[in-house]
Structure 1
Amino acid sequence: MRVFGPDEAAAADLLVDAIYQGGRRGGAGDDPLPRLVGVSTGGGFRYRGRIDRLELVVLTSNKRDPDWPDALDRETGVYTYYGDNKVPGRALHATPRFGNALLQRIFEDANAGEEGRQKVPPVLVFTSAGEWRDVIFLGLAVPGVAGQRPAEDLVAVWRTRDESRFQNYRARFTILRTESVARSWIQSIIAGQSDASLAPPVWTTWVETGRVIPLLAPRTIQHRRRAEQLPSDPVGKEVIAVIHAFFAEDPHGFEQCAAELARMMLPDIASLDLTRRSRDGGRDGIGQMRIGTGASAILVDFALEAKCYATSHAVGVREMSRLISRLRHRQFGILVTTSCVDEQAYKEIKEDEHPILVIAAGDIVRLLKDTGYGTPTAVRSWLERSFPSSL
């Protein structure tokens, strides 16, 4: 990974996944982005120009807000970013830094044909490197996702805090397939004379035709290691501990929770019936998922198994083999666990191409965050409300 020091920022190209270091004095002046791309200090939304005439937009994330989990899916190039109306008491667009108004503007322009796309500024995406104020460049982005309806690209989602309901935006961008952004293009934008000939070809293609060419980065190792399946942050670990403790006296009760988590990940589940406790032989539920829409849709059968384990207890080869043996022809399996799958068992699933979806502890944390339950307190309230029989 390339690292640029503070003195190099003003002349450096932007390289995907490179680290750009800030100062080491401990103040706001350490921020490298003003020198790097000519924007203001601080804030998740930064831009050059005016809201009605944007020249450049910078999105940043510190990855420390459990209620608003900005995230990049490196395999698909889709970047999910949340707006700046993160507390109740304000209208959706009435934020101090106008972040939500900015999102509304660029997504409207992105869906208004070539004339609209000409108005969309380059969107540069950064995330915290975890040291001082250093940042990592994630890429050059455009509003929207190929194959997704415009109405799904920018959605106002509801949240509750302190018994007050409010809305914030969830925006989906696509990181374009370019490994670098030239310093010369950035300088032309800063100078107020943007030179399109210096832009990456994928940017020009999108502006002229609307075609999105994403930066795809498929995994080289198909199975996930233990650390990749478990939450790495303290809040995520506490969320899983809350779930495990809630069902500690009634492990069978976790089956209902697992079914709800499966629906969160797969909204197109058409039916899901849990087996009776006395008959539970390793398959905790059977269901059908709808593929397609309307009269042309088809239903695919699946089996669900739930394992409410401590994170120190991985689901092993024996448990996975039992689920595999119970899958009928043209069925797939879903395993939901508050722990993880043993690496050898996971490797065998992938190598033998068994159709099993694993929803591990880390996945559970992400699903709950995306649904608005990002803290242990919120998760505990959700459990008590949704599964009272386990109290």
Structure 2
Amino acid sequence: MEVKFEDLGKMDLIVDTIYKGGKNGNTGDDPLSKIFPKLGNMSGFRKVKRKDDPTKFAYCVLYTSMSELEWPDYLDEETGIFRYYGDNRKPGRLLTNTKQGGNKLLEQVFSNLNFNKNLKDIPPFFIFKKATEGRDVQFLGLAAPGNPNISPDKDLIAFWRTIGDNRFQNYESYFTILDTKDESISYDWLVALCEDYENSIEKAPEAWKKFQKNGRNGIDALKAPKIFKIPSRYEQLQCDEEGKLCIEKILKHYNDRPTEFELCATHIVSMMDRNFESFSLTRPWRDGGRDAIGYYSISTGNKANFPLKIDCALEAKCYSLNHGVGVKNMSRLISRIRYRQFGILITTSYVDSQAYKEVVEDGHPILIITASDIAYILRRNSITSDNIDGWLNSIDNSTQRNYQL
């Protein structure tokens, strides 16, 4: 569903609707400032003060392009969890000394949430992402801070980042898109939040009322389980221009020595999930369909009990984008998986439909990682086309080239 720019105004908000921007080429094209009362038209972190108490906020709008390599905001549609990075994104300022005051608000909001106090002073958050054209935006939903499945000490994390030679801190925060069911977000509620905050709860969606009453335990997430289908070649290769450049550089780096991609593959898998550990390469002439052997460690996080370690076998294929992994290679990995092991097939290319179909329909315990996934993992770990050459060289010089005998 789309709403034209000229039709924007006093309207209700509907999840996943695209609100069109203007075509004049200036800040007046911003649709958000026309949708929300008293909202400015700049920055990704926008908040509006309450009329009854200007030290507090009526609501907050979070806008993200979802494409900043250094700040990979992300919505997991299957769980409803939304990861958002704060507004201290450049060196030169203290953590909460930002122009928009976004990080300071995050501190206040998560403090109230985690101490379960003054919940009524937590403003609702409205999440938008950049749509495909111009200033168009897509409404992702009404969000509450935190999530019942995320520990209170993990939903707002301050971390260090380096740009150039300068170090600085920013926040990584976690919200939950609320399941408002068939209720739209009424414009009357938005106005009431600004003008009559104390009584605005009467016009709020039931999901927000439940959160405001029960805090973290009152969060009902909007979950959208994916309907599984065999991903197409296009989908497995799909990534942005930066991702394509990174894949091309990997292919060029290992062009004359594709077997050395195996060590790189173990690094990628470990970056994907830190629970993967202790990978050992198999010798090239003895691999038997497995390029590396490792473990996936499951732990409570406490020191009292030993973690559960599950064996895994990894097969890496450094293939060009027009050379897919076929049935023969996949069958070779499947046949070499031992009892109580699972397999990982990682490729710079894609898996052809027949091989993929056999894995899924026969229920083989194989994790498939293709070019699109590799590009995403690199982005999440701040590896770009500017620094990937150094990263690849550091892997070549790594002392971790130990072999499984």
Q: Same fold (TM over 0.5)?
A: yes
Is contact 2:263-2:395 (8 Å) kept?
A: no
C-alpha separation in 2, matches of 1:145 and 1:224: 30
Distance 1:231 1:169, change over 3 A: farther
TM-score when scaled to structure 2? 0.90
Deviations 1:305-359 (A, max 9, x none): 1111112222122211111111122211111211222233223222222111112
Q: Which residue pairs with 2:159 in the alignment?
A: 157
Deviations 1:63-108 (A, max 9, x none): 3322212121111211111122222222222222222222222222
Is contact 1:45-1:59 (8 Å) kept?
A: yes
C-alpha separation in 2, matches of 1:344 and 1:191: 60
- Amino acid across the alignment from 1:182: S
Q: Which residue pairs with 2:385 in the alignment?
A: 376
Q: Which residue pairs with 2:90 in the alignment?
A: 87
User: Which one is further off, 292-301 or 209-218?
Assistant: 292-301
1:214 to 213, 216, 221: 221
Q: Which residue pairs with 2:58 in the alignment?
A: 55
C-alpha separation in 2, matches of 1:168 and 1:364: 25
3-state SS of paired residue (2:170): strand
User: Which one is further off, 35-44 or 63-72?
Assistant: 63-72
Equivalent residue runs for 1:41-190 within 5 Å: 41-49=41-49, 52-113=55-116, 115-179=117-181, 180-190=184-194
Q: Which residue pairs with 1:324 in the alignment?
A: 334
Is contact 2:292-2:314 (8 Å) kept?
A: yes
Q: Which residue pairs with 2:403 in the alignment?
A: none
Deviations 1:18-62 (A, max 9, x none): 011122211100101111012110211001117951210100012
Is contact 1:63-1:70 (8 Å) kept?
A: yes
Is contact 1:333-1:355 (8 Å) kept?
A: yes
Distance 1:158 1:313, change over 3 A: farther
| CA-CA distance at 1:259 after TM superposition | 0.8
C-alpha separation in 1, matches of 2:262 and 2:169: 32
Q: Please state if 1:282 is matched with 2:289.
A: yes
Q: Which residue pairs with 2:205 in the alignment?
A: 200
User: Number of residue pairs matched?
Assistant: 387
3-state SS of paired residue (2:8): helix
- Amino acid across the alignment from 2:35: L
C-alpha separation in 1, matches of 2:356 and 2:55: 51
Is contact 2:69-2:382 (8 Å) kept?
A: no
Q: Please state if 1:254 is matched with 2:257.
A: no
- Amino acid across the alignment from 2:359: I
Q: Which residue pairs with 1:243 in the alignment?
A: 250
Q: Which residue pairs with 1:291 in the alignment?
A: 298
Over the aligned positions, Cα root-mean-square deviation in angstroms equals 2.0
C-alpha separation in 1, matches of 2:166 and 2:238: 29
Is contact 1:48-1:54 (8 Å) kept?
A: yes
C-alpha separation in 2, matches of 1:105 and 1:379: 38
Deviations 1:162-192 (A, max 9, x none): 2222222221211111253222212211334
TM-score when scaled to structure 1? 0.93
| CA-CA distance at 1:389 after TM superposition | 6.9
C-alpha separation in 2, matches of 1:344 and 1:85: 47
C-alpha separation in 1, matches of 2:337 and 2:243: 32
User: Which one is further off, 279-288 or 132-141?
Assistant: 279-288
Is contact 1:71-1:80 (8 Å) kept?
A: yes
Is contact 2:288-2:336 (8 Å) kept?
A: no
Can you give the 5+ residue segments of structure 1 that lack an aligned partner in the other structure?
none
Is contact 1:143-1:172 (8 Å) kept?
A: yes
Distance 1:311 1:167, change over 3 A: farther
- Amino acid across the alignment from 2:318: C
- Amino acid across the alignment from 2:337: L
Is contact 1:231-1:365 (8 Å) kept?
A: no
Distance 1:127 1:258, change over 3 A: same
C-alpha separation in 2, matches of 1:201 and 1:213: 10
- Amino acid across the alignment from 1:28: T
- Amino acid across the alignment from 1:184: D
Distance 1:207 1:225, change over 3 A: farther
Can you give the 5+ residue segments of structure 2 that lack an aligned partner in the other structure?
400-405
Q: Identity of paired residues, percent?
A: 43
Is contact 1:87-1:166 (8 Å) kept?
A: yes
Q: Please state if 1:7 is matched with 2:6.
A: yes
Is contact 1:145-1:174 (8 Å) kept?
A: yes
Q: Which residue pairs with 1:386 in the alignment?
A: 395
C-alpha separation in 1, matches of 2:292 and 2:321: 23
